[in-house]
Amino acid sequence: MTKKEDEFQAKIDRDIKIEPKDWMPDAYRKTLVRQISQHAHSEIVGMLPEGNWITRAPSLRRKVALLAKVQDEAGHGLYLYSAVETLGTDREQTIDDMHSGKAKYSSIFNYPTLSWADMGAVGWLVDGAAIVNQVALQRTSYGPYSRAMVKICKEESFHQRQGYELLIHMCNGTKEQKEMAQDALNRFWWPSLMMFGPSDKDSPNTVQSMAWKVKRYTNDDLRQQFIDMTVPQANFLGLTIPDPDLKLNKETGHYEFGEIDWDEFFNVVNGNGPCNKERVSARANSKKNGLWVIEAANAYAEKQRIKKKVA
């Protein structure tokens, strides 16, 4: 290691945050750009499966909650794109990398939201899993990323609560409503577990990311934490988690669970999930069809500047 690298690692070891203009190894910068941009894309693409249900929310109460949640996701995308930008990247290039397939987003958003109960399952499980991940990332070593996480965590806890509340109502409703809730859990359970990423033994970046404190816990640790938290919540709803191998190990206090279908995970990550094409094309078209707004606003701003100069 060079002297600069030594000093950098010494800072990390002393839990001193790294700020944008500080010296950092290229590989650290690259890891952050990959991870934060992937996180940003997930926030933005995550608006699509829920936006799908805004006009069909069953009451005004549910509708304002869903609207507020989707609006939050847009804000969260912005905080994260801003954080990526502090690393010297071009924001629009970052966005284009997602449209071209070069950059990924969370594979969970490649699953469709088929019924209203899915809005409950997404809030409870998908946001629940995201929160476990993001609470841990509040202590990540890169300052702007850490600050974005603090802000996002503050805003996000209502996301999970509104989803769980919605499911409580459905589970206390008619037989059909409860079946819808169970069906949503059946479809979202395994993809939610996959949100934490591949198992530690198949996650080649984990060791370095932990040494740099970009990540504070491994994928498997966070996944276990989520399962331990969520099983009692499913029991309260009277729903069954679709895993026959799930059982509490009384000695460790942790739930043991069945094998995750990693073939499915990598298949979806590689673009072959049920909605990959739809999601990416929705985002790419949104940019393409909105470019004229950006240009028009620039032209208007320029005109105003000239007017002010003349006046």
Partner 1 sequence: MTNGNWPLWEVFIRSRQGLNHKHVGSLRASDEEMAIENARDVYTRRSEGISIWVVLSSNVHASNPTEKGPMFDPAEDKVYRHPTFYDIPDEIGHM
Q: Which residues bind partner 1 (CB under 8 A)?
A: 19, 21-23, 68, 71-72, 75, 78-79, 82, 85, 90-93, 96, 147-148, 151, 155, 287, 290-291, 294-295, 297-298, 300-301, 304-305
For partner 1, the closer CB: 71 or 272: 71
Select from 240, 242, 243 the least CA-distant residue to 257: 243
- Which residue carries 């950006």 as its tokens? 294
* SS3 label, residue 283: helix
* In the complex, minimum distance from the CB of residue 88 to partner 1, in angstroms, rounded to a whole number: 13
Select from 109, 294, 95 the least CA-distant residue to 195: 109
For partner 1, the closer CB: 19 or 256: 19
Handedness of CA 36, 42, 45, 47 (dihedral sign): negative
Q: What are phi and psi of 248, to 5 degrees?
A: -75, 130
Helices (H), the chain: 3-13, 26-45, 47-54, 60-85, 91-99, 117-121, 128-137, 143-171, 175-194, 206-211, 219-237, 262-267, 276-310
Give 133's strand partners: none
* In the complex, minimum distance from the CB of residue 298 to partner 1, in angstroms, rounded to a whole number: 5
Kind of pairing between the strands at 254-256 and 247-249: antiparallel
Distance CA 164, CA 154 (A): 18
* In the complex, minimum distance from the CB of residue 237 to partner 1, in angstroms, rounded to a whole number: 28
For partner 1, the closer CB: 5 or 183: 5
* In the complex, minimum distance from the CB of residue 90 to partner 1, in angstroms, rounded to a whole number: 7
* In the complex, minimum distance from the CB of residue 92 to partner 1, in angstroms, rounded to a whole number: 4
For partner 1, the closer CB: 95 or 121: 95
Distance CA 304, CA 311 (A): 10
For partner 1, the closer CB: 71 or 235: 71
For partner 1, the closer CB: 262 or 300: 300
DSSP state of 123: I
Distance CA 170, CA 95 (A): 38
* In the complex, minimum distance from the CB of residue 299 to partner 1, in angstroms, rounded to a whole number: 9
* In the complex, minimum distance from the CB of residue 72 to partner 1, in angstroms, rounded to a whole number: 7
* In the complex, minimum distance from the CB of residue 7 to partner 1, in angstroms, rounded to a whole number: 11
For partner 1, the closer CB: 248 or 306: 306
Q: Quick one: which H or E segment has residue 85?
A: helix 60-85
For partner 1, the closer CB: 249 or 289: 289
- Which residue carries 């079946």 as its tokens? 179
